Structures are given as structure tokens and as C-alpha cells.
Structure 1
Amino acid sequence: MGQILDRSFADATNTKNNQSIIFLFRFVYHLFHVLIIVVTKVSDISQLPPELALEILKNLNATDLCLASCVWQTLANDEILWLGLCKSIWRYVSIYKRAHHEGISFRKIYLQLDEGTLRFNAGEGLKYFIENKLLDDTCEEISKFIHNTRKLHATEKRKLLKERRDVLERLIELQSYENQFLPNALRQFFAKLDAPEERNEYLSILIENFSKRFYECNKDLGLSIETIYVLCFSLILLSIDLTSPHIKNKMSKREFIRNTRRAIINGTLSDELAGHFYDNIYLIGHVARSTTIAR
């Protein structure tokens, strides 16, 4: 292996503009020798230098990190490692701000957050998080928690937001749609807040709040909140029309432009912009991919 690398390195030095190749071969060459030294001189992995052990532990998930504590008990319980694991799933939780002051380990916090998430997804809501003082029971803290958490089940999250309209409104305020094309912003919105499976009051509330937020982020577009609201429903209906296998006679671009302009009463919409909306749905697909909002 060493002879091959040496020969390849020598060949590379004879070519022009090969600085990156030289660097790569040097790196691989030295890495190879380091590994040889580690394998031959360290018979017990617990004898590895702490710096190298930490680099290994950084790449482990929570389960593997717990197992690694059998070898590196102190290092595997490192607070920075467990804080990183916590924030990889729950980027914001109230307990983070007071964990150090109260002497709570992030390993314990991770296990509690994991348990709370399982209970939330099983239909118990935020009860576990609040009772165990992981999450403050305020609109702001709950909104930030939901906004920054990846593992919450969409259906259970929808149930919570139906009950806590204050949290829903604040959660939408935390979204940013600046300089985004309206259909793409809707996709981002529904990716964060799962849409209901049918048209109902909750969908209207979602679109109403989204329209306000999109307007605040893009006032220079010249579209009113009412116009954005109408456009959102037009895009949802167009998405259903173009993507549903049960609809054989698809809406044409001309029909979409005509129908949408008729629906907008107190506002204007250019044919060009409406045409771009149609093209976006036609080429990219549904604005709420994971849902099937009925007509």
C-alpha cells in the first residue's frame, strides 16, 4: 500500500496544476501510517487518546453512545456530545436555558425528550414535557419548540394546533417566506404544518394566517392579503386538478388564469404571473404533497 501511494505521488508531481492532487495523496499517505501505528500499538481501544476518542464519539447516535460508555465512560457522558444530540432533534427546548444552572445532565434531558416525543406521538400531547419541566407552558415556548423539533407526528401536531390557536398563529409568525414564489412558500408551509385531509374551518384558518405572513414578508409584490388568500385556494384546487388520477379533463392554463382573475374581486393579477403559477404546479406538483385535500 505504501509503495503504491509513493509511486502515485511521484507521478502526480510531474503534472501541471496538481496541487490538490498532491495534497490528497499526502493526506492519504499520512492517514495510512497513522492507522498502522494505532492498530499495531493500541491493543485496547480504551487506550486511544481522548482527542481521537471524542472524534469517534461525535459520529455516534444516542444508542451507540450509551454502548460506548462501556469503554469510554467519562468521554461518552460528555455534556457537549449529548447537547449536540439533543439539538440535532429538538433544537429549542425551555430546559436548555436552565440545565447548567440546575445541574441537569444533557444525557438525562435527551432520554426525557425522547420519552416525551414518543408519548406525544401516541396521543398524549405535551403533558409529559410540561410535567417534567422540560417545556414551559407558554405560547412562545411551545411555538418555538414545535418550530424547531423534527420528530413530532404531523397528525398529533395538527390536533394540538387546532386546540391552541394562539400557538398556531405564533408558529406561523416564526416562518419566513421572504422573496419566495407563492407556490413554493405554500409547499414550505404545508411541510411544516400538515394540511387537513378535507376543506374545513381549520384549513381556512391556516390559509388566512399564511396569507398574512406571506404578505408581511413580501409587501413589495403588490398583492393584498385578500388576493393572496384567494390565490392559495386557487393553487390548492389546481394542484388537486392536475395531480389527481380521478380527474381526466385537466384544467388548462387559460382556464386557470380566467377563473383565478374572476375570483379576485378587490385586486389585480397579471396573466403573466397567473401563468407562472400554473407552470409551477404543472412542473413541480402539489403544494401539499403529503395530503389529499378534498374538493
Structure 2
Amino acid sequence: MVNGLLKTAQGVPPGVSTTLLPHQDATMKLEAMKCLVDILKSMGDWMNKQLRIPDPHSPKKSEAGDNNSEPGSLLLVNGNTDEPMEASDTFSEPFSDVSDVSAIEQRRAYKLELQEGISLFNRRPKKGIEFLINANKVGNSPKDIAAFLKNASGLNKTLIGDYLGEREELSLKVMHAYVDSFDFQGMEFDEAIRAFLLGFRLSGEAQKIDRIMEKFAERYFKCNPKAFTSADTAYKLAFSVILLNTDAHNPMVKNKMSAADFIRNNHGIDDGKDLADEYLRSLFERISRNEIKMNEDDLAVQRKMSVNSNRILGVDSILNIVIRKRGEENTESSDDLMRHMQEQFKEKAHKSE
């Protein structure tokens, strides 16, 4: 069908006889061109849905229409600027259609190259970012890269977290720009974590989780300086919240943590002082009712890549980080927060086997 339309749009080859009159031939070519343009538009729309990529180049049909009303844009009759010649419709539509075809082709080329970069990122994140920068699909500043990781569709959320946790200079700057792009002012602590972890998965590596969550805590405290005594409190509470989320919503854990357990486990984390019981109880209830997770579409894809939900959240790594952190501070307590939580979690996991 497309080949037939293409031949019709090209017209009768020179030297070949035809029964069509000139105006009939022109009409046939015009209609064939319109059909080809409609096919290309449909293919472009289909690609948009398949690639799920923001479109940076949208055809400006309204502007084209406005330009046609300007002096010199149409052939006029006897200097009358209000009435175009009859032939103008015949000539302007093919030109507009050709312009549409060119725009669609440019969009297609852009999206294919962008998709190639995304596909490479999903295999080798650093190489993918390098490719996208060289192809002028992403700016080379940390803010530009962070915005791309935060907003682009089709990126593997686990690999985003992996990239953000790297210690190389560029990745570290990108991670800082990514976290600083969030405004946590006035947000409840669990609401902030929920918004933060919506776009990526924490890596399973302890050091990567440590870097990301330490920066999150710093950002939350900067946005809410009266919430805690220091950013370190937010850092410790963040891991406690993530562990509670796993405990409450992991079906493998049969004996769930109670509100009293959660309050007791967080004893003394605010630079030796206790957070208000009511604050912790409210936090416990909200997380127990509403799991912290990614978007449903992303979650379905990521589950295929994960063996179990413990590994997804890197629970063992999280526990080791916080225990090490508290050990470095030489904070001795009979009710050491994370040591107690580690023993409790392992005991529950063992009972559920």
C-alpha cells in the first residue's frame, strides 16, 4: 500500500501515457501525499507511546498557520490581501505536508538516538551518560544529568541508584545535585523519604547507600532545621524507617514490629535524646498503613530483576552501615538502636523460614 501511494505521489513517469487530465493527476498526487503523511504521523504517535520519551521537538502547526496569513505567504489575486488564489490550496498543503514529514523524521531520529543512550545506560550507566552527553541529548553539568535521571522515562531504577552511589567525582556531584533538587520543607519525614525513593532503588552496596542517605539526611535537615538536633538524627531515623518499611510489608516476616518496639528501637537517636513518642508512633502508623515504594509501573519491572525484597532494599547493608556509623562515634548504649534492630530482624526472618 505504501509503495502504491509513493508511486502515486511521485506522479506519472515521463514518457508514460496516462488517461488522467493534468488537474486529476495533481489531485491524485496531493491525496497520496496526504495519506503518506497520515501514515507517518500514526507511526510517530505509536513510537511516542512505545518509547515513552519526552518530545523536545513538537511540530508548530499553529505557527505555520499564522505565517500563512502574513504578507507574501500566499499568492494573491489583484493585490487583494484577503482572498488567495484558488491554486494556493493546491500548492500550500503539499509544502505543509512535506514540512510535517521532515519534522516527524527529525523527531524519530532524535528519539532513536535518545533511546540508544537509555538502553546503554541500562547496561552500563557511566557509558550511557557519556554517550548521551556526546550526542547532545543531555547537558554535561551535574544539574543537567541529575534532571535527566530524575525525569526521563525508561531508565532502570536500580541502575540509577547504583550510579548515584558511585564515589567518582562526577557521579558524586550528580548525586548531590539530584538530592538538592528536592524541596523537603514542611514535609513529614516519611513523606520526604517516600518522595525521594520514588525515582530510584537503593543499591545493595553499603557504601553507596551510606553516601546517598547521608546526603538525604543533610538535605532534609537543611529544609527543616527545627525537626531534629542535627542531620545525624535524620540519617539514623532514615535507616530505621526503611527497616520498618521492610518489616511491615515483607510477607516473609511473620512477627511484625510493634509501635512500642519501634519507639524503643529509636531510643536516644537525637544526639542522645529521645524523639517524642507521639512523633514516632505517628511515623510508625503511617508507614505500616502505606508502604514506601516506587511507581507501580517501575516496580513491576524492577521485581523481575530482584531475587527477594530484602536484597532490593539492601537491608543487611543498611544495618551494617548504621552499626558501623554508631561505632565510629563511640556511642555506647545498652539499647543500641541498630544492633538491637539487626538482632530482631534476623530473629524474625529465622522464625519465618
Measured against the shorter chain, the TM-score band is: 0.5 to 0.7
State the partner residue of 1:120: 121
State the partner residue of 1:189: 196
| Aligned residue identity for 1:293 | G
Q: For the residues of structure 2 that align with 1:270 and 1:249, how far apart are their CA atoms?
A: 25
Give the CA deviation at 1:204: 1.3
Contact 2:245-2:291 at 8 Å conserved across structures: yes
- Name which one, 1 or 2, has greater alpha-carbon Rg: 2
Q: For the residues of structure 1 that align with 2:48 and 2:151, how far apart are their CA atoms?
A: 22
Q: For the residues of structure 2 that align with 1:218 and 1:64, how far apart are their CA atoms?
A: 40
Contact 1:257-1:274 at 8 Å conserved across structures: yes
State the partner residue of 1:92: none
Matched, 1:292 2:302: no
Give the CA deviation at 1:236: 1.2
| Aligned residue identity for 2:282 | H
State the partner residue of 2:12: none
| Aligned residue identity for 1:112 | E
Contact 1:239-1:281 at 8 Å conserved across structures: yes
Cα distance change, pair 247–114 in 1 and its aligned pair in 2 (3 A): closer
Give the CA deviation at 1:272: 0.8
State the partner residue of 1:277: 283
Q: What SS class does the counterpart of residue 204 from structure 2 fall into?
A: coil
Contact 2:266-2:274 at 8 Å conserved across structures: no
Q: TM-score, normalised by structure 2?
A: 0.53
State the partner residue of 1:111: 112
Cα distance change, pair 224–108 in 1 and its aligned pair in 2 (3 A): same
Contact 1:116-1:128 at 8 Å conserved across structures: yes
Q: For the residues of structure 2 that align with 1:47 and 1:132, how far apart are their CA atoms?
A: 33
Give the CA deviation at 1:254: 0.9
Matched, 1:74 2:137: no
Q: What SS class does the counterpart of residue 123 from structure 2 fall into?
A: helix
Q: Aligned residues, how many?
A: 218
Contact 1:125-1:160 at 8 Å conserved across structures: no
Q: What stretches of structure 2 of length at least 5 have no aligned partner?
A: 1-30, 51-95, 303-311, 317-353
State the partner residue of 1:148: 151
Matched, 1:176 2:176: no
Q: How does 1:232-271 map to 2 (within 5 A)?
A: 232-271=238-277
Q: TM-score, normalised by structure 1?
A: 0.62
Give the CA deviation at 1:280: 0.9
Q: For the residues of structure 2 that align with 1:110 and 1:217, how far apart are their CA atoms?
A: 37
| Aligned residue identity for 2:271 | I
Q: What CA deviation, in whole Å up to 9, does each residue of 1:179-200 have, x standing for no partner? A: 22211221221122311236x1
Cα distance change, pair 134–60 in 1 and its aligned pair in 2 (3 A): closer
Matched, 1:227 2:233: yes
State the partner residue of 1:10: none
State the partner residue of 1:207: 213
Contact 1:224-1:267 at 8 Å conserved across structures: no
Q: For the residues of structure 2 that align with 1:241 and 1:63, how far apart are their CA atoms?
A: 40
| Aligned residue identity for 1:169 | H
Q: For the residues of structure 2 that align with 1:204 and 1:47, how far apart are their CA atoms?
A: 58
Q: What CA deviation, in whole Å up to 9, does each residue of 1:250-288 have, x standing for no partner? A: 211111112212333344411111001100111012467
Give the CA deviation at 1:47: 5.9
Contact 1:172-1:213 at 8 Å conserved across structures: yes
| Aligned residue identity for 1:195 | L
Could you tell me the percent identity over the aligned residues? 23
Contact 1:242-1:251 at 8 Å conserved across structures: yes
Q: For the residues of structure 1 that align with 2:274 and 2:268, how far apart are their CA atoms?
A: 10
Give the CA deviation at 1:76: 4.3
State the partner residue of 1:62: 47
Cα distance change, pair 139–244 in 1 and its aligned pair in 2 (3 A): same
Q: What CA deviation, in whole Å up to 9, does each residue of 1:146-193 have, x standing for no partner? A: 223122212332343214111111111112223222112212211223
Q: For the residues of structure 1 that align with 2:49 and 2:98, how far apart are their CA atoms?
A: 13
State the partner residue of 2:309: none
Give the CA deviation at 1:215: 1.6
Contact 2:119-2:128 at 8 Å conserved across structures: no
Q: What CA deviation, in whole Å up to 9, does each residue of 1:61-103 have, x standing for no partner? A: 43699xxxxx94432444xx89xxxxxxxxxxxxxxxxxxxxx
Cα distance change, pair 140–217 in 1 and its aligned pair in 2 (3 A): same
Cα distance change, pair 135–248 in 1 and its aligned pair in 2 (3 A): closer
Contact 1:177-1:217 at 8 Å conserved across structures: yes
